[in-house]
Amino acid sequence: MIRQTSKTILGLGLAYLAASAMAEERPTGSPVLSVIRQGSTARIEGAPENFKGIAHVEGRFQQEAPARIGGATVTFEPGAHTAWHTHPLGQTLVIMSGHGLVQQWGSPAEQFGPGDVVWIPAGVKHWHGAGPLERMTHVALAERLDGLSVNWMELVSDADYSRAARAQPR
């Protein structure tokens, strides 16, 4: 037990020395990585002009230039979905839980589920959200172009959402 404890203390000491040496080598004012802790950002309800039904947005992040990536975790209650919208550099959705729908303007809706990744190309008009029967959570990622990452449009009509949901296999 003493030998294991000594090894642990020695390992921690070496890790501390290595970290200290790296910190001393970092020039003043140079970028520093950050960790955004789960639950450390506000959880807000999606704006009614951009979401139909209840959608909770949390874990929002947007990095400073030259980085362009930003995103958030969005949880949609059953039947909740976005309005039609586009992204100047596209959008990636990583599905964490539940099943949902995504639809490109002029095409049939597609169903997705946990572990799926949805890529929406730049400028493609689309909507996405939960299916009618269960909550769905995804991480949404999009890049800014000239300070803009999304262009919101009109809400999806109830008839269009119902038609998309009915067309999906159960």
* Number of domains the chain contains: 1
Which whole number is the average pLDDT over 100-105?
97
Long-range CB contacts for residues 46-50, cutoff 8 Å, separation at least 24: 46/74, 46/80, 46/82, 49/83, 49/152, 49/155, 50/82, 50/83, 50/85, 50/152
Which residues, in sequence order, are bridge partners of residue 28? none
Which residues, in sequence order, are bridge partners of residue 119? 92
Of 21-35, 62-76, 140-154, 155-169, the range with the lowest mean pLDDT is 21-35
pLDDT tens digits, one per residue of 138-159: 999 999 999 899 999 999 999 9
> What global pTM score does this model have?
0.78
Asked whether residue 16 is assigned to any structural domain, the reply reads no
Asked whether residue 26 is assigned to any structural domain, the reply reads no
Structural domain containing residue 77: 44-166
Asked whether residue 142 is assigned to any structural domain, the reply reads yes
pLDDT category, 36, cuts 50, 70, 90? Answer: confident
